[in-house]
A and B are shown apart, each in its own frame.
Chain A
């Protein structure tokens, strides 16, 4: 499907309060086109909870339950159980959460909901930090990145939440990003048409957080995939496969040098040669594993 063929329905309306160049609204707009109006969003504390516009108005045209930071998946569990008792299983409960609320404070509720086989979709938009509170380190922040709590660069690599989710053996796990909208749309649509726990993680480059120009958001996402810093895959009932551009890399296309992605971001400005070696060897190691499996 081409972009021009995406549904014309809009559930993300004018008047939301996202920053210029924000990847969240791009991602949510496409995701909601796939999800349609029979969707209930559960949103924990994150950028998306503060960009809905000021009460009593809202720029989001589906029902939303805002919920506490660590509680999104438990909230969706409650919505899902109630929908079942009300015989409204045509409605999809969807968590829309940041990486802080998913990788860190919300991982317990997420794991619990996945393990219980909850009928819901969990979408984590990953901008690799706590952006809503002003750019602090999260479990998804990559090695070397400056944040306001890692002034000299983060000393640890990010964890792989997708791998943790896959260990729950749920029907659908996928990654996506905004520079491949057809791939993102297709994955959300596929998830919507399945039952049980489904997890999608959307890579979301943040201009103020990563220190790049707001006109470059889509380009940053594309470069992340082309350099192999972010991978696109899906796993359906245990069948794992790379998709889109990541599949081409797996099949032999060269990864672009990671420097091309890093050098556009102010958060990596201070990296030393030693840091570059560490980043490259970490990336090589990951890709060697992908190619083996």
Chain B
């Protein structure tokens, strides 16, 4: 069914259709509508879940971890400072190998209070052991949330998964999208089968003192699961394509085959870059685009073009654009642009301009300092 709705409402709808048994969440701009909508579903009896109105995001993630360890599917949603407050428990979920699924609405980090889009919140969680998806449309928010459960709960993976999307640009913007019937979602996403549980009949002690070697083994198994996730993400994305007509992989390539320069970006900026690619093509320029759907696992195998123009809406002070630097181990010519920090608007015209600048061998903070 085609519906027109905001990113937040769609995230809440996707969560509902995944049938989580426990949801624990705390409101924060620009995620607030997600928690409001879920409360509405629960109070109207449309969603059979225990909704825990926690007193902080730290407790939201803790409650999801504990509920998942007790054997049920869980969901939470946050943004920015809420995600940062969860940081300790994001590691906890990853190391516990619990497939908690959450959405994060990308928003700048204070001070000062800036509620606009910026990817530094989720990108600064990239070492926590979470699979990270980024959406560049409301359709992708929906599709990613459902697929995130199937991937996270795969017995070869058992890692938590986060679906991020830009504050306001997607969270508060209505777009048309296709929402499959609940029966088709149920057929796609089977009931949760936990990897381990707190079971009184078979008591285990989870997370007690562990010596260095077994701890390193745990870390190594996480890394193997994350590598394996590349294959599972691809497979689940293909299955989604067969069932619903929209195939997914680790990245979305657009007009890359004969491209001289390929943009690499993600989230809402990728939607803008797509328009720029079409315009550049109309002008005879051979431009292409790689939209990063996942940042963890990082899709190295999919980034195989020369002259990649990497646009980061994030910054690691003292290093540079985070995605650009993650890609630096690849042996290709690359250009780095830092743009749209703190929600500064980046239009397709700006991205076309970056294309020209890269051709002139220039890069940098757009438009503050490009050389």
Contacts and interface: CB of A to CB of B under 8 A. Distances in A.
B214 A55 contact: yes
Contacts of A49: 208-209
Nearest to B96: A65
Contact of A54 (B62, B92, B210): B210
Interface string B43-84: 000001110111110111011111111111010000000000
B55 A112 contact: yes
Given A42-B66, A77-B63, A79-B70, A55 B89 contact: no
B282 interface: no
B142 to A, nearest CB: 24
B195 to A, nearest CB: 15
Most buried by B among A78, A85, A116: A78
Nearest to B201: A37
A67 B66 contact: yes
A71 B203 contact: no
B310 interface: no
A64 B205 contact: yes
Contacts of B70: 40, 78-79, 82-83, 86
B66 A76 contact: yes
Contacts of B206: 63-66
A116 B52 contact: yes
Contacts of B71: 82, 86
Interface majority SS on A: helix, strand, loop or mixed?
mixed
B199 interface: yes
Contacts of B60: 74
B204 interface: yes
Most buried by A among B21, B74, B200: B200
Nearest to B59: A74
Contacts of A77: 24, 52, 54, 59, 62-63, 66
Nearest to A76: B66
B66 A70 contact: no
B88 interface: yes
A287 B210 CA distance: 46
A108 interface: yes
Interface residues of A, number: 45
B351 interface: no
On chain B, which size bracket covers the interface? 35 or more
A37 B66 contact: no
A252 interface: no
A60 interface: yes
B157 interface: no
A63 B69 CA distance: 11
Contacts of A67: 62, 65-66, 92, 207
Contact of B64 (A37, A63, A78, A91): A78
Interface in B185-221: 198-200, 203-211, 214
Nearest to A82: B70
A55 B208 CA distance: 6
Contacts, number: 160
B22 interface: yes
A236 interface: no
A78 B63 contact: yes
A61 interface: yes
A56 B214 contact: yes
Contacts of B203: 37, 60-64
A66 B56 CA distance: 19
Interface in A107-147: 108-109, 111-112, 115-116
Contacts of B52: 77-78, 81, 116
A159 interface: no
Given A54-B209, A55-B209, A116-B52, A75 B200 contact: no
Nearest to A73: B59
Contacts of B72: 82, 85-86
Interface in A86-105: 86, 91
Interface in B1-47: 21-22, 24
A52 interface: yes
A79 B66 contact: yes
A109 B56 contact: yes
Interface in A165-220: none
Contacts of A85: 21-22, 48-50, 72
B62 A74 contact: yes
B210 A55 contact: yes
Contacts of B63: 74-75, 77-78, 81
A78 B22 contact: yes
A170 B338 CA distance: 53
A264 interface: no
B129 to A, nearest CB: 15
Contacts of A58: 204-205, 208
B58 A79 contact: no
B62 A109 contact: yes
Most buried by B among A60, A67, A70, A73: A67
A91 B58 contact: no
A84 interface: yes
A258 interface: no
A276 interface: no
A75 B198 contact: no
A61 B200 CA distance: 9
Contacts of B207: 64-67
Nearest to B210: A55
Contacts of A60: 203, 205
13 contacts: A38-B200, A49-B209, A52-B205, A55-B205, A58-B208, A62-B203, A64-B198, A64-B206, A74-B54, A74-B58, A77-B59, A116-B52, A116-B54
Given A55-B205, A64-B198, A78-B68, 6 more contacts: A55-B209, A73-B59, A79-B198, A108-B55, A108-B56, A109-B56
8 tightest A-B CB contacts, nearest first: A78-B66, A112-B55, A66-B207, A74-B59, A82-B70, A78-B63, A58-B205, A81-B50
